[in-house]
Structure 1
C-alpha cells in the first residue's frame, strides 16, 4: 500500500500530441507508452484506434473514455482522435466525466495521453489544464516521409503548425519506428507514400535551370565573338580584293569602330552653333548614340536572331547572339527548341589565318597602310605662308605612294 501512494505522488499528468495525418503522432505515442510500460509495469488502456495482436500481447486493453474512472490507479490511458470524445462546445459546465479529469487523475496517479490533429479541435476545458510536468508536442513530417520533427512545449501551443513555432520550445528529429506499424491499424499507413516531395523537385529543377542558363550565356557570347571575328575578316578580305591595301585598312577601321564620328566639320563643311548642337541631341532619350552626329558609326552590321532558346515548364525564352532577350511567341520558341533554327545569311569564316601565317613567314614584310584619323593642325601663321596647303598635300601623296609601293 505504501508503494502505491509513492506511485501516486510521482505520476498523474496530462499529455497532448498533435500533427497532420501521417506525421506520426499516434505512432510515437504508442512507442513511448510501451517504453514507459516496460519501465514501470503499469497497465495501459487505449481508445480511438484498432489494435493488432501485439498490443494485446503487451496486456493493453480497450476502454471507453467516458468510463476512465473505472480504470485502476496508476493506469496509462491513450485517447486517440480525442476531438471525437472531447469536442468543442459552447459555454457552460462540461460533462461530469470530463470535469473530473483534472480533479482526480493526479490523485490516482493516472497519466492520460490525448491525440488529435490540432489542439483547437478539442474541449477547451481540458486544453487549458495541460501544463508542466505534462507537455504538448506537435509532429511535422520530414520531406522524405521517413521521419518527423517533434516540437515540444510545457503548455499547449494554440498555433503549432505555423513556421517558426518551434523557437519557443524544443525540437528534435525522430525516425519512424517501423516495428510499431504492426501494432495497430492506421489510415495513414495506406495513404502516405514515401517519395521525394515537390519542394525537392522544384529545388533540383531551379538548380538545373540555373546551370542551363549559364551554359547558354557562355555559348551565346562565344558564338557572338566568333561571328564578329568572321565578319571583320570578310570585310577586310572584300576590301583588299576591291581597292587594295589602303581600302582594306579603311574597312578594318570601320569594322573595329575606330572611325571618326560623322559630322559636317569632318567633311570640311561648316555648321552653325544651332546645327552643331542639334546634331548631338539623341533621337531617343537616354540613348546618346541615337544622335545624328553618330549616324556614320551606328549603321547596323548584324541582325538579331534566336541564337539560343530554352523551354522550362510553361515558359519558353529565346536569346539573341548578344545574350539579350528576344520577344518570340511561346509556340515559335518551342518549335525552335524542338527543331532548331537555320541562319542562312551567316557564312563560314574565310581561311584568313593561313594567309596571315604565310605573310609572316615570307622574308619581306607585307606592305601596310597606316591611316591616322586625326585632323592635321596647321602651324602658327600658316595663313600667312602662301602655298602651305599645296605643299602639305604634295607631301602626303608622296608618303602614301611610298607605302603602297
Structure 2
C-alpha cells in the first residue's frame, strides 16, 4: 500500500512514522527469525526489512526492526519484494514540477502491490507531490501539533489523499486520535541542527485569569451586600428590642414579661399530638370537610348567594315535587311549585312564599353597580351616565316582570345559563 504522511515542520510526522513502522515490523522476541505480528495465512514469515531514505543520522541500534539506508529513491522499485520503503522529504523525489511527463518512478506506483511493497512517503503537504502520486495514495496520515505541545498532537487518518488536510471541514472524514511524542525515540535521528520549535500559550488561555477575576468581583460584591443587609437587620432588631425594654421599664413592667405571655403560642408551633391533629382534621359541620379548623385560613368568602327563582304549574313537576323536595303551595287558587337557585346554579332552600315573591317582584341586590345608559354625543364622543329617572326605571321594571294578559299563570320556566356546570331543571 502507498502511505502518505504529512504535517507541518515540527508536527512530529517523521518521529511518529519511525515509531509506528518500527513497532509494526519488529521481530518476535522469542524467535527473531519470525515476525511479532504474524500473518494469519503464513505465521512463519521472516521479519520485513525497512529501507529508508532522507532520514539523517539514524541510530539503528536503538530501533527494534531491521532498518537499511538506501540512496536511490528514483529506483525504489528495484528493492527486494516484500520490503517496507520509507522516503522522507518525498517532495524532492516526487515533487510537482509542472510537467505532464510520468517517469517510471511514478508509474511504478500503479503496480507496486505486485511486488508486495509498502511505501511510506513523508512530506509537509500533499500539494508538494505530483498529482498522479496523490491519486494512488491508499492511506493518508496527517499530524497537527497545536501551539507546539508535546501532548495532544492530533493524528488524522484518511482512506485516501486529502488535498487540504488542515481544513476543519475535512476533520469529520478522519479517524482522529491524540498522540504524544514518544521520548523513547528522541535522538533516534537528527531532526534539525537547532531546535526553535517551542510551545506557546494561546491568547485565549492568557485571558482565563482575567475572566475568572471579572466573574468573582460581582459575586464578592453581592455577598458583601447580603452580609451588610443582614448585619443592619440584626442591628435594627436589637434597637427595637432595646426600645421595647425601655418602654416596659418606664411602664413598670419587668423586661421579658410580655415575651412570657407570648410563649404559649410559640409552644404550639411544635409537633402536634395525635389528638390535636385529629381535632384539626375533624369538620365542625358533618359532611362538610371544609369546616375543619385546618382550613380556617383558606375559607374566606369571595361571594354570596343571589337568588334566581322560577315557578311552574306543570303537573309533571308538581307530581315530582315531594320527591325532589321542591317548595310547593297555592298561589291565587292554583297549585304551583317554585324553586330558587344561586348564581352557581345550586339550589337555595327557601319557603314557597319567598320564592313566589321573588318571581313576581324580583330581588333587589344593592351590591351591584348601577347600569349605564348612552346619554348623547359630544365633541369627546359618546357619553354614558347612570339613569337618574326613577319613573322610567319603574316602568322598565314593570315591563320586564309583568306577564302578558291571559298568560298570568301559564307554565313559565326561567332558564339560567351557566358555562361552568350542566344546567338543572326543576
Task: Give the TM-score normalised by the residue count of structure 2.
Answer: 0.47
Work out which of the two has the higher radius of gyration on C-alpha atoms and give 1 or 2: 2
Larger RCO, structures 1/2 (Cα 8 Å, 6+ apart): 1
Q: Which has the higher helix share?
A: 1
Task: Give the TM-score normalised by the residue count of structure 1.
Answer: 0.49
